[in-house]
Structure 1
Amino acid sequence: MDEKLRENLQSQLSEMEVLQSMFPNPGEIKFEDNAILATMSRFLDYGSLDLPPFLDFTVNLTMDEHKIEVSFNLSHEYPQAEPDIFIRANHLSREQHSRINGDCTKFVCELERGEACVYSILDWLRENHTHYADGPSESAPPRSQEEEKLTRLWIYSHHIYNKTKRREIVGLANELGLTGFCLPGKPGIVCVEGLARDCNSWWLIIKSMTWQKILCKAREDCVDPETFRKFENFEEIAFQTQGNRCNHMDMGELNRYLEAHNLQHIFKELFGIDGKS
């Protein structure tokens, strides 16, 4: 086993032990896989050809009578790499969600790599959450003709693993009436299509989350409204994957999926090479 991997996983287990002692009540910490800590311990004790999944969990906080969910995804490179984080609270508006997640991302970027930082992030949230709930709500600007047009955004991310983020990507798209798909894994690809104002609102919130790398690779504007939309709804898709962690994208399957929706031209825009089925 790679020594750096061992150090990282051991650090994650130690951090979880401290975190569980600080949040001992049922429901305060929720793991996506209840057996993940045991799986990581067995991997460290006995070794295995199969790496354990990434550590995916949510800390549920109650502050000023408000419930706040802080979702973490720790890759095998953490704490050498930044954690994936998403903050969600029902009392915050979309704009406030965007601000708090964006500012949290800036805070995380300033932290020293190699040090466990989950508690530091929770501590930052305790000190700063009231700034966002009490902030003035922004009035919606008048809609322009450009915002009323149909458009399609193609989003490329270094990876999409965090299950809370994935639910937010799908849920927000459905809430805004967008169609398209989310393909999680490494890399992660998202396509959203709909009114430009709704696509822009979706993108503003999604890009404010913590990401190792995320960008809008392409934007397609509508030419024929009757044939522009290529999808009937928005959903998460999955193909048979490859790699030790079963999380790497199958390029051929993606290309076939795009061909089936008459979107094969975008493959080169996303990856810089022609697609092959």
Structure 2
Amino acid sequence: MSALSDQIEILQSIYCSEGELDVEPSLLDWLQSRQSGCPGSKPSVLQFAVNVQVPDTAVSIRLHCRCPLLCPTNNHDDTEIELDRPSFHFGTSASLSRELHEALSERLDELVERIFAERDPSECTPSMMTMEIIAWIHDDGARLIQESTLAASGPPQDSSPSQDAGPLVFAREWVYFPSLSTKEKRKDLVDYALRLGLTGFVTPGKPGVLVVEGLDTHINTYFHEIRTVSWADLPPAHKKMTLRHRDKQAISSVRELDALRKFKGMVEIVFDLHGARGNRNSLFKMETFLAEAGCADAFGKLFPEFGQELRSQ
């Protein structure tokens, strides 16, 4: 089997869901015509695109690959085809701002160059690099998108908790952490919220949960300060947080805030920590707590991927 046929077969076997992989039609037509014994003009490039759904976001990214084919164009046999160095880029997406698209594209270029610099050429095939890039999208790319979502309003304007003029918006944000353990950083999550007049709770361990409620301008300030001050010294892998849900309601005065709050104060809560390291929360007890707080639907928003069988853990 030629390198070209091998690449097509690998890609089609991995990205086999409907609408996931798009290969240049002329290339597929040529391969099919070759099998029938009546090949037409041999293509000069392998082009395909993979549609990637970014985990924990509503963003879908289209990853394009272009790889020139090195072969005599007048030879219908594909056994002599060799693959040149592939190039990659992201297509535009309505779910990505121009700034975020540019940031992701810059990171993609850096990743591709690093792969070429560090890997043997035999490990730089279109299929192998595509798999590595998609793994990067699922990890670092997803984190970049999630951080951008939390900072969508930009550096917020300072606002006093005693503000009493409209237009005002009450908000409650539900944030998921794969793991939340550092004691000092957890303390900041509580202290920064109290200073801004926010209420809610923090749950350390695996998984970690943060809920904050109050004026949306104060919540914007809160996350901006957490990211740029409290957590500024943490490596990117330790900053991963996912905004799972946001409740919003317009109000005419801050005097309406207390009637909308579900939680009193800002505290750290654990739910029957267990496991080998004593850091896993009981999801069943967390779900019960949320229901008693008047947020019965919140558990499904925080953990949409968890089935009933996992809630007893």
TM-score using structure 1 length: 0.45
TM-score using structure 2 length: 0.41
